[in-house]
Structure 1
Amino acid sequence: MLDYRIINRLDSHAEGSHLVTWPGSPLLADPQVSACRILSEMAARAENSVADTVFGCAPFTRITLIPLKFWLDGDALTQALRPLFNTPASARLLLDVTAEAPGLSVALRYLFNLEHSLMDLGLRAPQPDAVRLQQIDVWCQPEQSATLKTQLRQQQAISHGMVAARRLADLPSEQCTPQFVVEEAQRLCANIPALRCDVLDENAIVEQGLGLLHAVGKGSARPPRLLAIHYDGVETGPVRSYVGKGITFDTGGLWLKDGAGMYTMKYDMCGAANVLGLMLSIAALALPVRVMGVLALAENAIGPNAMQPGSVARACNGLTVEINNTDAEGRLVLADAIAWASQRHPQTRYIIDMATLTGAVVKALGYELSGLMTQDEPLRAALTAAGKQSGDEVWSLPLDARLKKQTESAIADLCNTPGNNAAISASAAWLLHYFCPPAIPWAHLDISGTALWREGGKSVASGRPIPLLIQHLLNDLQR
């Protein structure tokens, strides 16, 4: 994790750092800062736009003044910071946070996420001269320190989980197989006493009746896994469960995708990766709660044993599903995992699942909002509020009995896709609702648009919705 310090006065560590401040800041009166003659000219330009220089700014390597109005908006502040760190000028950042900045948490989260880069995967030749941010010095007034300490600790812990999830999701699928995900989770959890892992291999999946997960994974030479990660922050109390879709690569099965549609399918396991990251964030915050994270892991491949359109599989809760589209496999593995989680802890406080489930949710909501589907109104309200607080927002889509015909089958209890190609996202959620007992509040997050960060024509994992879910959990613990 990136190191940080909270400071109220400048010291020798400020020399050579990248100073980010705002016009009118009390920091500008400090002798080390006021000695920079270029500041007066920059301050005038920074009233309405970002002023940035690497010239004449000793003792700093770089100085950036961001207009005060940008600090009032988390997105605007983060967007102002983002281009500055595409090519950092210094390994140390001196961040002035004396401005009232409602969006500071989002910006801090962005900075802590700079710990991960695609270069870290070791798949490109290293760039020995590249500068990486390693230290953040946060300058504030003494009366701000206590609040800032909590804020920094939370955002660092959230980012720790996001970075772990992003690193896993960004790996090529030939490396990131179901078994690899299990082993990586076990490695990351090994030194955290509050976390423990249980694994079902392909034989245990069949023995415990998870026929939907088995159906999806049986066509691959890389067999499926179900991984449960348990966090015991307290000895007793209700368990909160999170379930993630972990399709480590999705060819579409015998309903084969075209090449363009298959290109980013290594990211079809972002839901599972984010459940792992969420558990790591919860442990880093040492929250007084019991949590179970369930990762439903499979590769949807073509082969002699691949599931066929029209086949019927039975879930661990006894319901049968006609598989009329093998490219709608995510809802199958989620359904089994939700049912399994509810059986494991019948007194679960809630189950929240997350999945890159449908392209339709992107058409409906774009890339900034996750789709939220639930029939539990308190859970809907709580997640919506947490999304606004965290800057990781959701938008509700309808979920009620008007969708019933979308999952009717002539041969089985349910079918996995509607024949009329309508309401795809909500229809998938309607199928899932059959697998969570009515007594357990349940919500589905379709993160097809938000699980990736898209910039310059490239996609990388974003780590969302970990910020949303941590904020929701923190709020829930205060009730």
Structure 2
Amino acid sequence: MTATELTRQEFTIAEDALTVVLTQKGTDGVVLLINDVEGLAELGQAVGASGAKDELIPAALPVNGSLRPIVFVGLGTDAENIDAYRLAGGALGRKHLEVEVLALAGSHSPEAIEAFATGYLLGDYRFESYLSEQGAQTPSLRVASIEDKGAEIGEALNRAKVIADAVNRVRDLVMTPPNHLYPESFAERARESAERAGAEFRVWDEQQLEAEGFGGHIGVGKGSIRPPRLARLAYRPAGATKHIALVGKGITFDTGGLSLKPAGAMVGMKFDMAGAATILGVIEALAALEVKINVTGWLCMAENMPSDRATRPDDIITMKGGTTVEVTNTDAEGRLVLADGLVMASQDELRPDAIIDIATLTGAQLIALGERTTGVMGNNEDLIDRVIEASREVGEPAWPMPIPEEIHEPLKSDVADLANARPGNRNGGMVMAAAFLSRFIGEDAEGQLLPWAHLDIAGPSNNEGSAYGYTPKGATGCMVRTLVALAESEATK
């Protein structure tokens, strides 16, 4: 084969196979072709492949009288980092190529294949449920040219699909408009999710919530004609010994209540249920992967609306468990429903080894850590470290933050056990919210506080900019992969 036989083409291929050639850019500018398939090096040089990160160069290779579609995908300079494969897969996925088979040429580890396939499926995501014309379906995945690794590659691809499906279901939920997703319909989605996972399911309606003292849910939700819900999913695989409780904020729309948000800040508040949605994705993935760990998910769902029945600033509400809270800001509502959920998680009939809550909780998270990094706080350094380690393993940025003792001071109330916020005090808003939540963590059989971690995903849950890597514009489904990795690690201990 000579260079004159090589053909370069644009991304208009709709064939039954697409060969992906992963390339690495050397530090001295020399292209290193990871795939050792005959003829590909010459083709790559002819079409100008450099191996740079995010590089996608389509081409065609003459094979038996016809052209075989090829795309050179750059890994950048750090191909030892498994996330480079995820990012490369995402770059290809964002092209939404209309192909049915994705074939990776060359020899790669199962871990690299899984990472690339995961990134590809995540990058290919589109939310088109409300468009009159929709794009092609996501292509299936197959790997060619891998010798003696068929079973391992098959398992890697299955894991990629399971995890990507879970993340993309979360994205779908978060992207669903609030006139279609509200506490009651969200609870029904949770029921369907529990059925797919083979998990036990229970939901509390507004009458049950009020009768059983869930003051956070009732206080936040009573301003809406769509009443609140609390859902519990219990995944109990045979042989599991460890137990993690997950508590998620599920505010299906947040106007701020009577502490009304400005109009611009209200757009996008359908994302305020991302934490609860994340729990569904995690449990479904763990069940599909048959991970032997007990997981109980608590979805704390309400719609925060202003009305003549809405909770007022200065009202005092009694939370599940009896703690009284002076509501000083009705826009600090997520912590109120989470408080009810944390009490329930602490008192579960199967006492958890750890409690993790996840929530789009504070704008202060964006100020402190930006749009892509999850804040991790809690009462147990070892648990926080394990969450951070899991996040690094799957390439989801997270950073530990403290809960200083003095941050509890602004939450003191003259008329109740504590206040939910301190209007006008903009200092340490993210860690102040975590300090509030810490008051609702229960104790183990020895009287010690249960290990607890709080994940603030206010920024990372929604990408307002352009798509990048394997992250689309809009809902990201962040921390599903982190929590799955954490649960898998805990199950093996």
TM-score (norm 1): 0.88
Distance 1:454 1:70, change over 3 A: farther
Distance 1:265 1:227, change over 3 A: same
Shift of 1:432: 0.3
Shift of 1:368: 2.2
Letter in 1 for 2:117: L
Is 1:20 the counterpart of 2:23 in the alignment? no
Distance 1:346 1:150, change over 3 A: same
| Mapped contact 1:393–1:468 kept (Cα < 8 A) | no
Tell me the distance in 2 between the aligned counterparts of 1:279 and 1:318.
30
Tell me the distance in 1 between the aligned counterparts of 2:421 and 2:177.
29
Match of 1:118 in 2: 127
Shift of 1:37: 7.7
Shift of 1:416: 0.6
| Mapped contact 2:86–2:118 kept (Cα < 8 A) | no
Match of 2:3 in 1: none
Which of 432, 448, 452 aligns to 1:442? It is 452
Letter in 2 for 1:463: G
Shift of 1:257: 0.6
Shift of 1:236: 6.5
Shift of 1:27: 5.0
User: Residue deviations 1:76-124, cap 9 Å, x none?
Assistant: 44444444433433322222463569766544322223564211x1x11
Query: Which runs of structure 2 are paired with 1:199-214 in the superposition (5 Å)?
Result: 199-214=203-218
Match of 2:488 in 1: 474
Distance 1:22 1:155, change over 3 A: closer
Tell me the distance in 2 between the aligned counterparts of 1:102 and 1:254.
50
Match of 1:243 in 2: 247
Match of 2:294 in 1: 290
Which of 82, 89, 96 aligns to 2:97? It is 89
Shift of 1:163: 1.6
Shift of 1:430: 0.5
Paired-residue identity, %: 29
Letter in 2 for 1:445: L
Which of 272, 275, 294 aligns to 2:276? It is 272
Letter in 2 for 1:310: D
Letter in 1 for 2:462: L
Shift of 1:142: 2.7
Distance 1:67 1:357, change over 3 A: closer
Is 1:462 the counterpart of 2:476 in the alignment? yes
Match of 2:226 in 1: 222
Match of 1:3 in 2: none
Letter in 2 for 1:385: E
Q: Which has the larger displacement, 437-446 or 232-241? A: 232-241
Is 1:69 the counterpart of 2:73 in the alignment? no
Q: Determine helix, strand or coil for the equivalent of 1:410.
A: coil
User: Residue deviations 1:153-196, cap 9 Å, x none?
Assistant: 3332222221211111110001001011111122233354x312
Shift of 1:440: 1.2
Which of 402, 405, 422 aligns to 1:401? It is 405
Q: Determine helix, strand or coil for the equivalent of 1:273.
A: helix
Distance 1:65 1:331, change over 3 A: closer
Distance 1:37 1:17, change over 3 A: farther
| Mapped contact 2:110–2:153 kept (Cα < 8 A) | no
Query: Which runs of structure 2 are paired with 1:223-372 in the superposition (5 Å)?
Result: 223-234=227-238, 237-345=241-349, 347-372=351-376
Tell me the distance in 1 between the aligned counterparts of 2:365 and 2:430.
6
Shift of 1:428: 0.3
Match of 1:170 in 2: 175
Match of 2:158 in 1: 153
TM-score (norm 2): 0.85
User: Residue deviations 1:353-394, cap 9 Å, x none?
Assistant: 000001111111112211000120110111111111111232
Letter in 2 for 1:329: E
Q: Determine helix, strand or coil for the equivalent of 1:467.
A: helix
| Mapped contact 1:46–1:65 kept (Cα < 8 A) | no
| Mapped contact 1:244–1:275 kept (Cα < 8 A) | yes
Shift of 1:213: 1.1
| Mapped contact 1:383–1:472 kept (Cα < 8 A) | yes
Provide the aligned length of Structure 1 versus Structure 2. 456
Q: Which has the larger displacement, 248-257 or 141-150? A: 141-150
Root-mean-square deviation (CA, aligned residues, Å) is: 2.6
Q: Which has the larger displacement, 104-113 or 398-407? A: 104-113
Distance 1:179 1:185, change over 3 A: same
Match of 2:437 in 1: 432
Tell me the distance in 2 between the aligned counterparts of 1:468 and 1:323.
33
Shift of 1:152: 3.0
User: Residue deviations 1:258-283, cap 9 Å, x none?
Assistant: 11101010000000111111111111
Q: Which has the larger displacement, 267-276 or 340-349? A: 340-349
Q: Determine helix, strand or coil for the equivalent of 2:309.
A: coil
User: Residue deviations 1:58-92, cap 9 Å, x none?
Assistant: 53334224256353345544444444433433322
Q: Determine helix, strand or coil for the equivalent of 1:203.
A: helix
More helix by share: 1
Unaligned runs of 5+ in 1: 1-13
| Mapped contact 2:91–2:120 kept (Cα < 8 A) | no
Tell me the distance in 1 between the aligned counterparts of 2:371 and 2:280.
22
Tell me the distance in 1 between the aligned counterparts of 2:462 and 2:355.
23
Query: Which runs of structure 2 are paired with 1:378-417 in the superposition (5 Å)?
Result: 378-417=382-421
Q: Which has the larger displacement, 231-240 or 250-259? A: 231-240
Letter in 2 for 1:88: H
Tell me the distance in 2 between the aligned counterparts of 1:212 and 1:155.
38
Unaligned runs of 5+ in 2: 1-13, 24-32, 444-448
Letter in 2 for 1:411: V
Match of 1:451 in 2: 461
Tell me the distance in 1 between the aligned counterparts of 2:420 and 2:483.
27
Shift of 1:229: 0.7
Match of 2:28 in 1: none
Shift of 1:223: 0.2
